[in-house]
Amino acid sequence: MPQTLGNLFILAAPSGAGKSSLIKALLEKHQTTGVHNNAMQVSVSHTTRAPRPGEVDGVHYHFVDHAEFEALIAENAFFEWAEVFGNYYGTSRVIIEQTLAKGIDVFLDIDWQGARQVKAQIPDTATIFVAPPSKEELQRRLTQRGQDSAEVIAERMTKAVSEISHYHEFDFIVVNDDFEAALNELDAIVTTRRLRKEKQIIRYQSLFDNLLTDN
């Protein structure tokens, strides 16, 4: 994939670590401040599961049926895809490439397996693991939601151990103990990626061409 001004970020975390809240807060912060004049957005995945109340096609997910999803798999249309509880989920290759080409930063909210698949195809991807400060705090957050039974919470805690065991595969690690501190760390990662030589050359090519022109 050719160099683009847009950056691709992957955030992975066990359920309850606060990943989605951090992404939402980061997008809201940049929409308010216009930092670096770079737009950013969360990737909208394809899925075969039915929309939940309030979910909008093209906003929360691209909702398709199994036949259409499998046709897209055959066309190699996804950077990564997986089957979860009988439904498919996938990240569109074309949509991501087109968005990055426009200079828009893209965040993928996927697990460590998806991160591996994308990183293998786009090594320049910045992978970030969001960890909870402790098992006790993770369980407290899952319980405090009031959305799941004790059995479901126990399953999520077991899955969390599996997710966390892959922390060392990521480029960056953010421990979400204090939310504002974690948000500032995530923001610093974004800024660091934007200021790399490769991105600055694209951003300021005309400036450097002018500075190096003999008058």
Cα distances (Å, whole numbers) of residue 178 to 17, 34, 127, 137, 138: 11, 24, 21, 12, 13
In SS3 terms, 1-64 reads as: CCCCCCCEEEEECCCCCCHHHHHHHHHHHHHHHCHHHCCEEECCCEECCCCCCCCCECCCEEEC
The model's confidence at residue 52, banded by pLDDT at 50, 70 and 90, is confident
Domains assigned to the chain? 8-208 (3.40.50.300)
Give me the pLDDT at residue 2, please.
73
Residue 132 CB neighbours (<10 A)? 23
Q: Are 119 and 26 in contact (CB under 8 A)?
A: no
Q: Which helix (H) or strand (E) holds 106?
A: strand 105-109
Give me the pLDDT at residue 38, please.
67
Strand order in the sheet with 8-12: 40-42, 105-109, 8-12, 126-131, 172-175
Q: Which helix (H) or strand (E) holds 134?
A: none
Give me the pLDDT at residue 129, please.
98
Amino acid at 14: P
Q: Is the pLDDT of residue 34 over 60?
A: no
Average pLDDT, the chain: 92
Structure tokens at 43: 């990737």
Q: Are 167 and 159 in contact (CB under 8 A)?
A: no
User: First vs last Cα of the chain: how many Å apart?
Assistant: 36
Structure tokens at 29: 């912060």
Give me the pLDDT at residue 205, please.
94
pLDDT in tens, 55-106: 999 988 999 999 999 999 999 999 999 998 799 999 999 999 999 999 999 9
Give me the pLDDT at residue 174, please.
98
Any residues with CB less than 8 A from the CB of 123 and at least 6 apart, and which? none
Q: Are 92 and 62 in contact (CB under 8 A)?
A: yes
pLDDT in tens, 60-71: 899 999 999 999
pLDDT in tens, 108-156: 999 999 999 999 999 999 999 999 999 999 999 999 887 778 898 999 8
pLDDT in tens, 172-197: 999 999 999 999 999 999 999 999 99
